[in-house]
Amino acid sequence: MSARQFAQSSRLRGGRPFPLGATWDGLGVNFALYSRHATKVELCLFNERGREVERIVLPEYTDEIWHGYLPDARPGQRYGYRVHGPYAPEAGHRFNPNKLLLDPYAKQIVGQLKWAPALFGYTIGHKDKDLSFDKRDSAPYMPRCAVVDPAFTWGRDTAPATPWEDTVIYEAHLRGLSMLHPQVPEQARGSFSALKQDALLDHLRQLGVTALELLPIHAHVDDQHLLERGLRNYWGYNTLAFFAPEPRFMSTSTIAEFKQMVACVHDAGLEVILDVVYNHTAEGNELGPTLSFKGIDNASYYRLADDPRYYINDTGTGNTFDLTNAGALRMVMDSLRYWVQDMHVDGFRFDLATILGRERAGFDPSGSFMDAVRQDPVLSQVKLIAEPWDIGPGGYQLGQFAPGWAEWNDRFRDNVRALWRGDGGQLAEFATRLMGSADLFNHKGRRPAASVNFVTAHDGFTLNDLVSYNDKHNEANGEDGRDGSDNNISFNHGAEGPTDDEGINTVRARQMRNMLASLLLAQGTPMLLAGDEFARSQGGNNNAYCQDNPLTWIDWQQAASPAGRQQSLFVRRLLSLRRRYPQLRRGRFLDARDEQGEGYDVRWLRPDGQPMEDGDWHDGEARSLALHLGAARQEDTPRGPEHAHLLLMFNASHAPQAFVPPLIDDEHWRVLISTIDGAPLQADAEGHWPLPDRAIVVLSSRRNRHSDTEG
């Protein structure tokens, strides 16, 4: 296209610097782009066939924002930017107007990235590497931004607003959850429309979870090296557009599909939590492509090293987003508010959240981003969950986030795995983890719910693989087994992988129930990995980030099998207990040394019924103990659950162990739930309860008003 055809359009007006992005007002579209160091910004318009039809210079520059108003633009208009400025990598600037750039505020992305040398601001293979300058046009290989119409009728949509102490999180991948479900229409599988289907929502509701946490759904990029191996960035932790849903997750042409999905999930009584990645982008390091931020204002959006040619890499992905910069911080805050206010999501889980709180001098729970969120009238009212670690200096910050945040508790994960594997010296920490990890979170008025407890997550073994493999088996990833953690704290119980040995399979099933019970009976916020409720496997792959295939898709045939149905029923019973008995989800920290009591009597007991003493806690060979939770006060249980004493008996030993329960007003103890197969457990003639090896039993001191047991 000639320079004449790309001349300044006379119909473009000055417009407004806010809001940023492309905003349809019913008459036209206002375009606004932040760039502190640019010298000129061109708005590029495309037709639906992908051809660039017009290039217009934004006429105004106000407070570091370039802007213009196009009265004849409409929703659906495809666009991108070309940004002019110095190409001086040694000074941190990488402007190259030959590269089409995505709007950081784009609400919809159309098409997929096609890897080509033209996507890079420098000439690949040049002796000067990234100091060279590439003049090829990248537009043929880039996706487009699209102007959206934000209008949507939400009707009666109401956020469930589940209290933290009642919250149970179900972590899932949108695509993996639905690709193999027989009752989800084929055209809806892998898309937001799948979560409008009753079959999926009924499963979650009946299971008893309260929040669906989705792995990243923001538009992201598949790494070239993965595509060359026939793989994909399945997990999606490679974000490029923080306001736009991933195009592959849409079965329709509008973002209304996402809003419809949220409305349906809310109607089922469930919250929607998004896993978000604001710590880095898909543009990599100095040798990565120029797709958006790098070409718009590299020195403002990224944390650069002392030599600004290079990037600080606290993420392990090549770059780190700079939230100490006002423009970058504003973009992240605007993105979060957009997903809450316009898209109605209920909260966020922040990947590598330590980075978000890292100032120039290190992690600060009162840093720019943390304080901005804490005082924000919108974001301070939704669920905020931190992954409290990264690979940067001082990167492990578990328990150190500000009030108002919950955190993934990997110490809960590791302790529960080690205890049930049979490792010694775990009881003292297990007691602390079971009671909400007060050592980590009991400060500044934080509550037990701040501890997001989990045994498995998307990153690592599934629950089935945790009891079936001693070692990771990641050969399918094409990295010769170098990827993924070697510290899985797993145990195969006698055979590596699937086996026909009935004895091994019996132990594995019980161990899965033991870990599920430890998770769902603990104080704090439990998080369940999708498919663990019916023992799905990933064949021992503990880093399946690149596997978009049946290896990672939920096997709903397994869910329908007798073993799968039995385990799902067990999870349902556990969550029913959790709802019924407030002792299992208290809103404040309490242990046996807390004299306030809050109407509860909490005691740790040895199997012989005597109180645990210091020597018992430090006995490295001890693997059994009991937790007595006294009855709740009447005023603490307005919804009418049982006012009963509970006794939780844990035998992680590989040998049987008899337990002596305390005497409670001459009442009889009865089984509420047990991880033991076979005949119902009963007390012997002396009132002792004989537990087999590796088992959990929960007793109640009084008759349930509905039935004697939980089934």
From the list 351, 414, 548, 642, the catalytic residue is 351
Sign of CA dihedral 68, 73, 74, 76: negative
The set of residues, in sequence order, having a beta carbon less than 8 Å from that of 164 and lying 6+ positions away, is: 383, 406, 447, 449, 525
Spatial distance between the Cα atoms of 634 and 11, rounded to a whole number of angstroms? 71
Strands 211-214, 271-276: pairing kind: parallel
Direct distance between the N- and C-terminal alpha carbons of the chain, in angstroms, rounded to an integer: 73
Sign of CA dihedral 91, 367, 407, 626: positive
Number of residues that this document lists for the chain: 711
Q: Which neighbouring-strand residues pair with 33? A: 66
The set of residues, in sequence order, having a beta carbon less than 8 Å from that of 526 and lying 6+ positions away, is: 168, 169, 452, 453, 454, 519, 520, 578
> How big is the CA angle at 602 (ends 597 and 603), to the nearest 5 degrees?
140
Spatial distance between the Cα atoms of 284 and 70, rounded to a whole number of angstroms? 33
3-state SS record for 325-385:
CHHHHHHHHHHHHHHHHCCCCCEEEECCHHHHHEECCEECCCCHHHHHHHHCCCHHHCEEE
Burial (Cβ within 10 Å: 0-12, 13-18, ≥19) of residue 588: middle
The set of residues, in sequence order, having a beta carbon less than 8 Å from that of 82 and lying 6+ positions away, is: 41, 42, 44, 55, 97, 98, 99, 100, 101
Could you give the 3-state DSSP secondary structure of residue 145? strand
Q: Is 286 a catalytic residue?
A: no
Angle between helices 368-375 and 326-341 (to 10 degrees): 30
Q: Is 635 a catalytic residue?
A: no
Nearest to residue 407, comparing CAs of 428, 389, 429?
389
Token readout for 517 is 């019970």
From the list 54, 346, 387, 407, the catalytic residue is 387
Q: Catalytic amino acids? A: 351, 387
